[in-house]
Amino acid sequence: MRILVADDQALIRDMLSRMLGMDHRVDTAVDGLAAWDAVCMADDDGKPYDLVITDHEMPHITGTELAVRIRNAGFTPRIVICSGVASEIDCAAADAILSKPFSFRYLEEEIKLAAT
> Residues 35-72, buried b or exposed e (16+ Cβ, 10 A)?
bbebbeebbeeeebbbbbbbbbebeebbbbbbbbbbbe
Domains of the chain: residue spans and CATH: 2-115 (3.40.50.2300)
Give the gyration radius of the chain's Cα atoms.
13
Q: What is the pLDDT of residues 26-82, one digit of tens each?
A: 999 999 999 999 999 997 778 899 999 999 999 999 999 999 999 999 999 999 999
Residue 19 has pLDDT above 70, yes or no: yes
Helix (H) or strand (E) holding 29: strand 25-29
Residues 6+ apart with CB under 8 A from 93: 64, 67, 68, 70, 71, 79
Please report which confidence band the pLDDT of residue 6 belongs to, taking 50, 70 and 90 as the band edges.
very high
pLDDT value, residue 87: 63
Question: pTM here?
Answer: 0.92
63-72 helix and 32-44 helix, angle to the nearest 10 degrees: 30
pLDDT score, position 15: 93
Give, as one character, the DSSP assignment of residue 46. Answer: T
